[in-house]
A and B are shown apart, each in its own frame.
Chain A
Amino acid sequence: MIVKAASHPAAHPYVASLLAGSTAVAKSPAAWLDARRAAALERANALAVPTTRDEEWRFTDLTPLTKLQFQPVSAAGNVSAADIAAYAVTEAAVRLVFVDGIYAPTLSRRGALPAGITVELLEVAIKSHGALIEPHLAQLVNNDKDLFASLNTAFLQHGVFIHAAKNAALKAPIHLLFVVTRKGAAAYPRCLIVTDTGSEITVIEDYVALGGEAYLTNAVTEVVVAPNASVRHIKLQRESDQAFHIGTCAATLAKDARYLAHAVTFGARLSRNNLTVTQQGEGAHAQIDGIALIGGRQLADTHTLMDHTQPNGTCVQSHKTIVGGAGHAVFNGKVFVRPGAQLTDSSQQSRNLLLSDKAHVDTKPQLEIFADDVKCAHGATVGQLDAEHLFYLKSRGLPEAQARNLLTYAFGAEIIDRIPVPSLVAQLEKSVMARTEASV
């Protein structure tokens, strides 16, 4: 069965071309899901591709994206276990692999999980866990104004549902690996993470590519953190350097919930990472770490919104970028303290390192505060490697290039070392080293 086409065609020709494939999305067993997909399709039809005249996309020009055509694939490309061996996270309790947006059972590893922890394909879970999914799926992200979130929901079919029941805890990470192999492919992965009171989980979302093709990943993740629960959410974006990656994540935090986000951006020709954290209960804590290491002609854009709606919330955010070549890093971090969110303590740091003449950075840390008894601070710096630090290392006999590498690496390591998954840290450190050596 086929989802009915929207009553009016897309206003924007490029949006229409992206949506062409949405007719192939299979009808879901749940009527509510079909309704949400149809509504999102309707929204996407009404929206245009954002331009640099839109404040939210001021520094990120999507023109290169609109010059190419992307469609979901009907059959996944061939990927062997050896192809993805380099991305293995040895600590992981479970690994689900998606190739070109489609689940690959032979590459995945699904062992026994502790009681109360569910990791299931979204299309399966809709049937088995519908009551847990319906209140949250496509309810957290903003489908109204956000074209890419609407597109993802219109194509919502493949993805993962993760649930942690009351007081269930899984220390080992859940590894979700999204591999793209095909040129011109559009992947719309969707994740929903729902926790119950007092539970604890760690999820790794990992986007990688085999080969250097141009494709589009438009991912959406929704996270519900229950009272006293803790979710660690690690997102790695290691797409091909011709790829386009648009990621949207929305997390909602109940009373005393903890949400720890780590975003690592290495890949893609153009990437955009949207993270919205809404603190719905008192005393919730969020930690938002980000690192982008780019060069060549890459553009990496990170937008975060920390929305404090209740008292006693805390948030520590630090975002770093290392930009070489003719790379362009963008950071927009907004801290919103709503009326009544007293005793909020929220801080934000944006630190940017420029390695070359053509590299550039646009950063916009914002504070919007409507409560008087709060502690909020933000800071932003842009600069190059400190001449004195370099001199010191050289005086100890390190060659210039090595000294530069070491300092660049140290700048980024602060963020990477906070990820508590040793095998992943080792992988990332290696690629940081390789990349800084290439960019000097």
Chain B
Amino acid sequence: MSTVLDNLVSQPYKHGFVTDIESESAPKGLSEDTIRMISAKKNEPEWLLEFRLQAYRHWLTMTEPQWPNVHYPKIDFQAISYYAAPKPKLKKSMDEVDPELLKTFEKLGVPMHERAALAGVAVDVIFDSVSVTTTYKEKLAEVGIIFGSISDAVRDHPELVRKYMGSVVPVGDNYYAALNSAVFTDGSFCFIPKGVKCPMELSTYFRINTQDSGQFERTLIIAEEGAQVSYLEGCTAPKFDTNQLHAAVVELVALDNADIKYSTVQNWYAGDENGVGGIYNFVTKRGLCKGHNSKISWTQVETGSAITWKYPSCVLLGDNSIGEFYSVALTNHRQQADTGTKMIHIGKNTKSTIISKGISAGQSNNSYRGLVKIGPRAEGARNFSQCDSMLIGTQCGANTFPYIQVQNPTAKVEHEATTSKIGEDQLFYFQSRGIPTEEAVSMIINGFCKDVFQQLPMEFAVEATKLLGLKLEGSVG
């Protein structure tokens, strides 16, 4: 059985090509000058430069977090290029986009251009550090939705960006968030005005292309009173045998009765089977349920990155607000993942649900780390958490670190965790019904992850199921 499963897990990384586009990079290294350079290149207003410098100065006083259950050589922050833009600079229309780039996205299967129309998805594409193109901008503008790169938003809607940026993840929040605040180059911005239900799924595709460059994107989504939006994010990177840093910050703000659904399929390059290369994915994602009855839902399928360090969180400030976290994290070979969520209950009758499924194979290490905090004023708060792990093979690890802090007696908090493997008897049953082992394994894993996949938009769910199958090819057995 082990060879079948082994073959099933060890699929080559199919997004590992480098697109040969001339790109313009900043010299390696980080200093106030680099930050001024980035800011000047992007023609940013003075307040944003101040925001960056403040973050940078704070970052200098901080030390890298040591508590995650991951191990890697110390990162040399001076060996990273903090700005890499595809060259020549792009024109406004899609037809003028570098055909090489478009081919890249075609290979990735990003639904863009006509394909976007078919899929009905509006896409913002971030290549290394710069937003390349945004589809469907006009159509969205008709209903008042602003969707595009954050650089454009800084230029066109500075008052909105200034009001909300840093309001959920302050500049000094943590080491990598501070770094991001100092050097972020682009990202997506989305504003859904009062009472508007976004007519289509919004999507961003991130790709790191240049060796030695880091990607520091910043995403800001604001849903005003009664607004509703579903946002998807996908990530890939080429194969390099050096490690690249990805330190993003995502901020979500939901006002009264607003509803934000944020889905991620993360498939950054994970390094080879010996753990050489791959992306360090150190990401800060946080949503603020600011208004009454607001809702933020995170769904993530994490299959890539050499190291993942990511805790999409919800701050449930408004009364009756709801936070959700659905996650599938798969690690193989020598990948390390320390991921989970934080649910901070502040308002009355706030509810949160955490469903986390971890699958470890090869020699990987997969940790769930989550915090459920019920503040003293959170009357009637309710949380349910379920963290299941599946181990494939004898050399991997699965860990669960839930933190539960309760300061209100009317709260009800439940946490459950289990660990299991693909049972011989389960496989035997499938085989007795004429289903080959490989297919059986894939079905069992899909069943294991069903609770999470159900939360994904349809196309993403299909993609995620496929991705999991690919990733696991060769490892189960």
Contacts and interface: CB of A to CB of B under 8 A. Distances in A.
* Chain A partners chain B: yes
Nearest to A330: B405
B220 to A, nearest CB: 32
A366 B406 contact: no
Interface residues of A, number: 37
Scoring A339, A340, A359, A376 by chain B CB atoms within 10 A of each residue's CB, the highest score goes to A376
A361 B419 contact: no
Contact of B402 (A339, A375, A380): A380
Contacts of B413: 380-383
B397 A360 contact: no
A373 interface: yes
A357 interface: yes
B414 A381 contact: yes
Interface in A361-391: 361-384
A382 B414 CA distance: 7
Interface in B134-174: none
Interface stretch (A111-119, A153-161, A348-356): A348-356
A156 to B, nearest CB: 33
Interface in B341-387: 374, 376
A360 B407 contact: yes
B404 A377 contact: no
A55 interface: yes
B446 interface: no
B405 A360 contact: yes
B62 interface: no
A339 B394 contact: yes
Interface string B393-412: 11111111111111111111
Contacts of B405: 59, 360-362
Interface in B186-237: none
Given A355-B409, A380-B402, A382-B412, A372 B417 contact: no
A382 B406 contact: yes
A381 B415 contact: yes
Given A370-B397, A371-B394, A361 B418 contact: no
Chain B, interface size category, equals: 35 or more
B351 to A, nearest CB: 14
Contact of A380 (B376, B415, B418): B415
Contacts of A384: 409-410, 412
Contacts of B410: 384
A254 B398 CA distance: 26
Contacts of A378: 400, 415-417
A383 B412 contact: yes
A352 B389 CA distance: 24
A308 to B, nearest CB: 12
Contacts of A371: 391, 394
A362 B374 CA distance: 10
Interface in B413-459: 413-421
Given A359-B409, A360-B406, A382-B406, A369 B421 contact: no
Contacts of A358: 376
B419 A383 contact: no
B414 A354 contact: no
B384 to A, nearest CB: 10
A384 B410 CA distance: 6
A55 B67 contact: yes
Nearest to A348: B417
B245 interface: no
A364 to B, nearest CB: 5
Secondary structure of the A side of the interface? strand
Nearest to B419: A376
A377 B418 contact: yes
Contacts of A354: 406, 408-409, 411
B386 to A, nearest CB: 10
B416 A377 contact: yes
A381 B385 CA distance: 10
A382 B411 contact: yes
Nearest to B423: A373
B403 A367 contact: no
B402 A377 contact: no
Given A376-B418, A381-B414, A367 B400 contact: yes
A222 B74 CA distance: 39
Nearest to B369: A366
A355 B391 CA distance: 39
Given A361-B405, A362-B404, A369 B412 contact: no
Interface string A310-341: 00000000000000000000000000000110
B402 A372 contact: no
A375 B400 CA distance: 14
B392 interface: yes
A364 B408 contact: no
Contacts of B411: 354, 382-383
A64 to B, nearest CB: 19
A380 B419 contact: no
B408 A357 contact: yes
A379 B67 CA distance: 23
Interface string B88-118: 0000000000000000000000000000000
Nearest to A372: B391
Nearest to A329: B406
Nearest to A360: B407
Contacts of B395: 339, 370
A372 B421 contact: yes
A373 B417 contact: no
Contacts of A357: 376, 408-409
Contacts of B398: 367-369
B399 A367 contact: yes
Interface in A384-407: 384
Contacts of B397: 368-370
B391 A367 contact: no
A377 B417 contact: yes
Contacts of A366: 399-402
A376 B421 CA distance: 11
Contact of B393 (A342, A360, A372, A380): A372
A182 B371 CA distance: 42
B329 to A, nearest CB: 15
Contacts of B420: 375
A106 B470 CA distance: 75
A373 B396 CA distance: 12
Given A354-B409, A355-B409, A380-B402, A365 B394 contact: no
Contacts of B394: 339-340, 342, 371-373
Contacts of B421: 372-374
A373 B413 CA distance: 29
B369 to A, nearest CB: 9
Given A372-B393, A372-B394, A376-B418, A361 B404 contact: yes
B402 A374 contact: no
A381 B416 CA distance: 9
A93 B400 CA distance: 43
Contacts of A363: 404
Given A354-B406, A376-B419, 19 more contacts: A55-B67, A339-B395, A362-B404, A366-B399, A366-B402, A367-B399, A368-B397, A368-B400, A369-B391, A369-B399, A369-B419, A370-B396, A371-B391, A372-B392, A373-B421, A379-B416, A380-B415, A383-B411, A384-B410
26 contacts: A55-B67, A59-B405, A356-B409, A357-B408, A357-B409, A360-B376, A362-B403, A364-B402, A364-B403, A367-B399, A368-B399, A369-B389, A369-B391, A370-B395, A371-B391, A372-B392, A372-B394, A372-B396, A372-B421, A373-B421, A375-B419, A377-B419, A380-B414, A380-B415, A384-B409, A384-B410
Q: What are the 8 closest A-B residue pairs judged by CB atoms, nearest first?
A: A354-B409, A372-B391, A380-B415, A367-B400, A360-B407, A382-B413, A376-B419, A382-B406
Interface of A: 55, 59, 339-340, 342, 352, 354-384
